[in-house]
Amino acid sequence: MAAFEYKARNRETGQLVTGVLEVATADAGISLLRDKGLIVTNIAPTRARKAAAPKGRRGKKVGLDDLVVFTRQMAVIVNAGLPLIEGLNILGEQMENATFREVIKQIEKDVEGGSTLTDAMAKHPRIFSTLYVNLVKAGEASGMLDEILVQLAIYIEKAASLQRKVKSATIYPSIVISVAVIVVSVLMVVVIPVFETIFEDFGADLPTPTKILITISKWMRGNIHWLIGGIVIAVFTFIRILRTRAGRMKFDHLLLRLPVFGDLFRKVAVAKVSRTFSTLLRSGVNILVSLEIVAKTAGNMVIEEAIDNMRLSIKEGESIAGPLKASGVFPMVVRMIDVGERTGSLDEMLQKIADFYEDQVDVAVGGLTQLLEPVMIVFWAWWWAAS
């Protein structure tokens, strides 16, 4: 038995519940809490267990690329018929990431001690997600572990690719905007006062835009401490609000309604949810368990709530398409899912939806990058003309 800390919400009231469970695995804890009418939002080994977990020589983070390599190699080893313990030993010796190498060695010891691969991996939730563990569990139960590991590797590669696209879409504008704000602030506080003195010596009547810039510069220099303090307080308040369920829900709802970016975030969410759902169904995971996992990996509370509602509706005997349409979150894919459900090819239809929306994300990211450059050029042209 191991100690697991958990956070869950009451299925009926939505009230947050926290505590510690003594169970063999995280999956066992989730099942126990589900039977009590709770929806688990997070479950992980207690702090004491985390502290005892191996961290490697430098505590290097295990990335998705490391996980893909491990998963593909595991699939080859299982397919070749090598004993699991021997295969884990080989992978542990070959792994370059010191943190992951120690984790693999610990998994090898657990399997050698009688644990299943699923239970051994569940002890390391920071590396092996609930999705990963459930797919391995399905593979062990069906005797198709090698095939499911290949599917899992493909899924992780697709997820990593989608993650990189989102980063490229958000980081580039963030950097450009941040640099622009810093440059404008320096100009306002340092450069404009120099020109102000020169203009006063000339004694000429200044254009209205220049007067506005000088007025803003004077205000910033006179209230710089209040300005910085206000920014710090605003950021702190924003972070505190995001940590509440209501605050996070409103923020995620706002993200989906943003001009330009809202459409991108929605496409990313549809692609991610579809890919995850398809992979789970194809691997033989129960549809209700699949939806529970999909909700946790959605990355947006509005979408997570819609999927949870869909899961509850399906539990009561409704179709998938009905609750999806009622949620209003996935207006463009309801018909495709309905067709897939009626024809018995839901997993294939979800995969096609994921492929389509990943291509759409590519186009959207390229469009945002191209749009940002002329906008910045126009901004700087206006700035220098006004100055």
* pLDDT of amino acid 376: 63
Integer Cα distance of 203 and 9 in angstroms: 69
User: What integer best gives the mean pLDDT of the chain?
Assistant: 78
* pLDDT of amino acid 375: 64
Taking residues 334-349, what's their average pLDDT? 78
For the entire predicted model, the pTM comes to 0.61
Integer Cα distance of 14 and 246 in angstroms: 11
**pLDDT tens digits along 228-245:** 888 899 989 988 888 888
Taking residues 373-386, what's their average pLDDT? 61
Give yes or no for residue 157 having a pLDDT over 80: yes
Place of tokens 């991610």: 272
Of 103 and 159, more confident: 103
Give yes or no for residue 305 having a pLDDT over 50: yes
Of 226 and 362, more confident: 226
The amino acid occupying position 138 is A
* pLDDT of amino acid 49: 44
* pLDDT of amino acid 48: 43
Give yes or no for residue 199 having a pLDDT over 80: no
User: Would you place residue 50 in the very low, low, confident or very high pLDDT band (cuts 50, 70, 90)?
Assistant: very low
Q: Please say whether the beta carbons of 307 and 291 come within 8 A.
A: yes
The amino acid occupying position 327 is S
CA 160 to chain centre: 10
**pLDDT tens digits along 26-40:** 777 777 777 777 777
**pLDDT tens digits along 275-298:** 888 888 887 888 888 888 888 777
The amino acid occupying position 326 is A
Half-sphere exposure of 202 (CA within 13 A, CB side): 9
* pLDDT of amino acid 233: 93
Beta bridge partners of 10: 38
**pLDDT tens digits along 255-273:** 888 877 788 788 888 888 8
Integer Cα distance of 70 and 86 in angstroms: 14
Give yes or no for residue 55 having a pLDDT over 80: no
User: Would you place residue 96 in the very low, low, confident or very high pLDDT band (cuts 50, 70, 90)?
Assistant: confident
Rg of the chain taking only CA atoms, in angstroms: 26
Q: Please say whether the beta carbons of 39 and 13 come within 8 A.
A: no
* pLDDT of amino acid 13: 67
Cβ neighbour number for residue 109 with a 10 Å cutoff: 13
Distance (Å) of CA 255 to CA 168, 238, 248, 265, 356: 17, 14, 10, 7, 22
By the 10 Å C-beta count (0-12 exposed, 13-18 middle, 19+ buried), 284 is classed as: middle
Of 117 and 205, more confident: 117
Least confident of 177-191, 208-222, 315-329: 315-329
User: Would you place residue 89 in the very low, low, confident or very high pLDDT band (cuts 50, 70, 90)?
Assistant: confident
Give yes or no for residue 219 having a pLDDT over 70: yes
Residue 10 sits at φ, ψ, to 5 deg, of -65, 130
Give yes or no for residue 14 having a pLDDT over 60: yes
Integer Cα distance of 279 and 159 in angstroms: 12
